[in-house]
Amino acid sequence: ERLIKVRAQRIVVATGGFETPLVFQNNDRPGVFLGEALQRLAALYGVWPGRRALVVTNSDRGLSLARELLAAGIEVAAVADARPELQDSSDLRRLREAKVQVVTGHTVLEARGKKRVEAAVLVRLDESATPNPGSEQLVQCDVLALATGWEPATALLAHAGARLDYRRDLGAFFPSDLPPWLFAAGEVRGAQGLAAIQRDGRLAGLKAALSLGAGDQRDQALAEALEGGATEPVSIRPLLSVSHPKPKRFVCLCEDVTEKDLADAVQEGFDHIETLKRYTTVTMGPCQGKMCHLSSIGICAALTGRSLPETGTTTARPPVTPVSLG
């Protein structure tokens, strides 16, 4: 609860990122969790939020989540992976050894249950990530574990004047054109995997020091070697929203803004992401858009026929972390 002012010649931002939920029918039901929330509950507090989990994912994060849930003693009913094909990995092999069904090219269409999740409907996706009618299958579960979205925490970098560019391979906006005194490192810059994140952090530190005149030729050579190092391939199928004939798909859980609310606003002329934000209050709740920023951009793009880069992002303003009000 204090304000500390630090005047530095160089700043390295390594803020990582956060998971974001998928927009689907009845996605506000108790029992729908972000994957990292489940990992914290199970690993840090020994809390089991349910007995039988359905993991929904679009990347290797979901396979790792399913393996950790199994290790915590939670039954995994199935893993629904939006990717049509999966690369071989230790997590995938362990899940198959444990007889966990891994369904590729599928995602969750809707959650079932009046007071909490009692089951979920999976659906096959076509090449354009549209649900294929007639391919629905019901899975009994009391927990829906979502590892379907991730967004870098770029607000501090945006405050400093960095531009945010959409990366299709990672399905999110990442910083570019940083001022010469500012450096980014780790997941906030797009590094994937612990080894890559550590390497990127070391690189950012070296660059910051070298720009101040510190270090020697060996440090310069090391920085060049780190920057030219091989990067691990990333397998992600970006997925923000799953269409459904019924309208109960929440984009902003804080403000109760549904996908239908966004569609109505666009039809009324509020088709720019900044005016859409103000008219519907999407991203303006207590989490300040951390749960709905990326999905609101994706839905706005789909409704207006624009690409995500053309739609752009909303403006990040300080403070990044809200201050307490007495």
Residue type, 264: D
pLDDT at site 210: 97
Give the whole-angstrom CA distance, residue 313 versus residue 166: 10
| R_g (Cα) of the chain, nearest Å | 21
Residue 73 token pair? 């003693």
Q: Would you give the distance in Å from CA 9 to the centre of its chain?
A: 32
- Taking only the tens of pLDDT, the chain with its 326 residues reads 788 899 999 999 999 999 999 999 999 999 999 999 999 998 899 898 899 999 999 999 999 999 999 998 899 999 999 999 999 999 999 999 999 999 999 999 999 999 999 999 999 999 999 999 999 999 999 999 999 999 999 999 999 999 999 999 999 999 999 999 999 999 999 999 899 999 999 999 999 999 999 999 999 999 999 988 777 778 999 999 999 999 999 999 999 999 999 999 999 999 999 999 999 999 999 888 999 999 999 999 999 999 999 999 999 888 888 777 77
